[in-house]
Amino acid sequence: MTTSQVSSETAESAGKTGQTAGMQCRLTITLPIALIALIACGPATITHAAEEEAAAPPPPPDICRSRDSSGNIVFSDQCGDRREEVELREATMFTPPDTRSKSARRAEVPHTPKFIPYGRLAITGPEAGENLRDNAGNVHISVRIEPGLQPGHRLQVLLDGKPVGPLSGGGIQLENVDRGEHELRAVIVDAGGQSLQESAPSSFMLHRVSKLLRKAGR
């Protein structure tokens, strides 16, 4: 082998070595960039895709319709070549009507005791058409009720349509009633103030000496 051939082979070997070194250098530079990109983007992208896949509901199975050997229609999720695919519609919510009897529904409604009218409810004093004389305008009113008041009921007296009271022991004492004719009425009311029963009206006449006459007599 001549000196020139040795030099040529040495140069060729050096060129291959340099080319290999260059490839190794490029691989050394390229590989870390790919790793950095994978570390920066890969895990987040993979995690997000996994979350979307887990959150998505599984697709409904395909339902197919076919006929068995007896000609009956059969539905199955195993679809073959001779089976017809069935399109599933969205389920419709249905509320069944109340089939209970009227008596059963009435039993659930709170029962209010039926009002039983009192046997007697009347103004007994002053007597109807009575003339009273009292310069101070004092009038004692008496009421008769039979039987006694039921639970939740109360007795109210109206003087010329306006309530007065309260009653004590079946009577009430009024003071400074104006002279003239007045009308009395007894009323039974419930706890809510609703009128349940009224007595017949009773009128009386109250006479009082005028204040002017009393001053003149002094």
> Is the confidence at residue 4, as pLDDT, over 50?
no
> What is the token pair recorded at 41?
């983007």
Alpha helix ranges (H) inside 68-210: 102-108
Residue 213's pLDDT band, with cuts at 50, 70 and 90, is low
**Tens of pLDDT, residues 92-147:** 777 777 777 666 666 665 666 788 999 999 999 999 999 999 999 999 999 999 99
- Asked if 200 contacts 211 with a C-beta cutoff of 8 angstroms, the reply is no
**Tens of pLDDT, residues 150-204:** 999 999 999 999 999 777 777 899 999 999 999 999 999 998 999 999 999 999 9
Domain limits of the chain? 1-56, 57-89, 120-217
120-217 belongs to which homologous superfamily?
Answer: Immunoglobulins (2.60.40.10)
Given this model, what pLDDT does residue 73 score?
78
Given this model, what pLDDT does residue 7 score?
45
- Asked if 157 contacts 172 with a C-beta cutoff of 8 angstroms, the reply is yes
- Using the CB atoms, write b or e for 39-50: b if 16+ within 10 Å: eeeeeeeeeeee
Given this model, what pLDDT does residue 104 score?
64
> Please, is 199 exposed, middle or buried when counting C-beta atoms within 10 Å of its C-beta (0-12, 13-18, 19+)?
buried
> Is the confidence at residue 18, as pLDDT, over 60?
no
Given this model, what pLDDT does residue 30 score?
46
Q: What is the DSSP letter of 168?
A: B
Q: If you compute the radius of gyration of the chain from its CA atoms, what whole number of angstroms results?
A: 54
> What is the token pair recorded at 7?
């030099």
- Residues 58-71 have a mean pLDDT of 71
What is the rounded distance in angstroms from the CA atom of residue 185 to the CA atom of residue 197? Answer: 11
